[in-house]
Amino acid sequence: MEFDHGRCSVSPGSSRSVSVSRRSFLAGSAALVALGVTGCASASQASGGGVALRFYEQKQEVIAYFDELLRRFEKSRPGITVVHDSTVAIAPQFVRNEPADVGCFNDNLELARYIKRGVLGDLSDLPSARTVRTDIGELTDQYATYPGRTSVLPYSLAAAGVIYNKKIFAKHQLPVPETWSQFVDVCDELTKAGITPVYATDRDTWTLWQGLFDYSVGSLVAPGEFFHRMKELGADVGPDSEVSFEKDFAVPMERAKTISSYFNKDHAVRAYADGNLAFGKGEAAMYLQGPWALSQIALVDPGLEIGTFPLPVSENPDERQARVNIDLGLWIPTASRRQDEARELVEFLMQPEIINAYNNDNLAYSTLTDAPAQEDERLAGLQDYVDRAAFYQGAGTFVPTSIPLGNYLQSAIRSGNFEGMLRQLDADWRRLAGRGATV
């Protein structure tokens, strides 16, 4: 998976000379910032005209929200207009070498490719970079780093756990489980009462790794560390290696297997939308989904009383952790020809009142130190974990999409053969690492 074997024997002709000039341009703009002129119009642009920036943000639910922020930016900073690019696919603009001036994107393995290949510039010298919580900033390094750069400024942190129906829990006098055995007890009680304990939607395979897999692993094996060592081992991963899926994920997958026995009967053919509908109608007590599902569930029943708790997978309540992901991070491509203005826009968006308001309004957590608590009651159960940094990024997010983890889970749930799935994952990992062509 690592990409540092003898490379670059051939290089596409044109891009080399371009990249040099780009780099010097970046150095120049970095120097400007270092002089303390961030946020001020540089002399060259002050003469008027007007600069058009392109801002890339494609998260469907908040496109209108960002549109409004951009209009506010334009008002506060005459002379700059911002075009909102909401194309779904991120790759084409980089393929054409015309990336947006500022990007705002999910920090995942996909963005990691851009970080690793050095096409995102350094933001560490921005004043706002110092206001980001370091324990959140470190999360992005788990996927990829570029030497000497802070390529991404985390903007929005999403936290996920087990979504539960408070009414059903109250009706059957069930406590929020704090240990694994309590969780199993709760499930048994619900089954006895004729209620589906956990609603699962196998047909959308992402829901399987995002919920079942990630929650089962996260509090038992720290994914960031585990995958760091897996990457170092690369093609040497196997039953006898220091870490492996087969060894380290054995207990977590026992948990997953048990949880899957409490699924709704028709889980194999249900899709994400079915799940939101069923949970919204109160047909199940628990749902392994993130905050993104809450707005969908609210469409079914806006008054449904919902809470969230991190899935306990051990007998020690202190080991519980929440699954988080950097839902949005800001970055500036080195290829942007408007570095100064792009930095102004980033600084604008990173102002505490703007970033905190955004996250509060969109069921997420601000990444700044001293950010106010998320006020939504449905997420209140996770606040403490976010504050204490008792969180992990889902194990499934570290698995490249060339390994169809969701599909493997689908068949493992069906057959009950989770050990076979883990061996398969190890084999795929080895093959991928030996291939060299995949990042």
Partner 1 sequence: MSGTTLYQKRRHTGARRGVEPLYYLFLVPTLLVFTAFVVVPALIGIFYSLTDYVRFGDWSFLGLSNYAALFSDPRILESYGFTLGFAVVTVVVAQVIALALAVALSRRIRFATTLRTVFVIPMVVSGIVVAYVFNFLFSNSLPAIATAVGFGPLEESILGNPDLAWLSIVIVSAWQTIPGALLVYTAGLTSIPTDLYEASALDGASPWRQFRSITVPLVAGFILINTILGVKGYLGVYDVIVGLTGGGPGTATSSVAMTIFGGFTGGDYAYQMANATVFLVVTALISVAQIVATRGRAVQL
Question: Which spans of this chain sit near partner 1 (rule: CB under 8 A)?
Answer: 3, 6-12, 91, 94-95, 97, 109-110, 113-114, 117-119, 202-205, 266, 268-270, 400-402, 404, 407-408, 410-411, 414, 428, 431, 434-439
Smaller CB separation from partner 1, 368 or 425: 425
Smaller CB separation from partner 1, 224 or 404: 404
CB of 425 to partner 1, least distance (A): 12
Smaller CB separation from partner 1, 116 or 323: 116
The kind and range of the H/E element at 158 are strand 153-160
CB of 143 to partner 1, least distance (A): 12
Annotate 240-275 with b (16+ C-beta within 10 A) or e (fewer). ebebbbbebbeebbebbbebbebbbeebeebebebb
Smaller CB separation from partner 1, 249 or 408: 408
Smaller CB separation from partner 1, 304 or 403: 403
CB of 334 to partner 1, least distance (A): 11
CB of 95 to partner 1, least distance (A): 5
Smaller CB separation from partner 1, 39 or 118: 118
Strands 284-287 and 196-199: parallel
* Rounded distance between C-alpha atoms, residue 227 and residue 433, angstroms: 13
Cα dihedral 161, 111, 24, 70 sign: negative
Q: What are phi and psi of 2, to 5 degrees?
A: -65, 155
CB of 127 to partner 1, least distance (A): 30
Smaller CB separation from partner 1, 79 or 238: 238
Query: For residue 399, what are its two tokens?
Result: 């698995």
CB of 437 to partner 1, least distance (A): 4
Smaller CB separation from partner 1, 98 or 375: 98
The answer to whether 268 and 129 have CB atoms below 8 angstroms apart is no
Residues sharing a CB contact under 8 Å with residue 110, sequence separation 6 or more, in sequence order: 90
CB of 196 to partner 1, least distance (A): 16
CB of 182 to partner 1, least distance (A): 31
Q: For 132-136, which contacts have Cβ atoms below 8 Å and span 24 or more sequence positions? A: 132/367, 132/368, 132/369, 133/367, 133/368, 133/369, 133/371, 133/389, 135/389, 136/326, 136/367, 136/389
Sequence letter at residue 49:
G
The answer to whether 396 and 191 have CB atoms below 8 angstroms apart is no
* Rounded distance between C-alpha atoms, residue 326 and residue 52, angstroms: 28
Strands 162-165 and 306-309: antiparallel
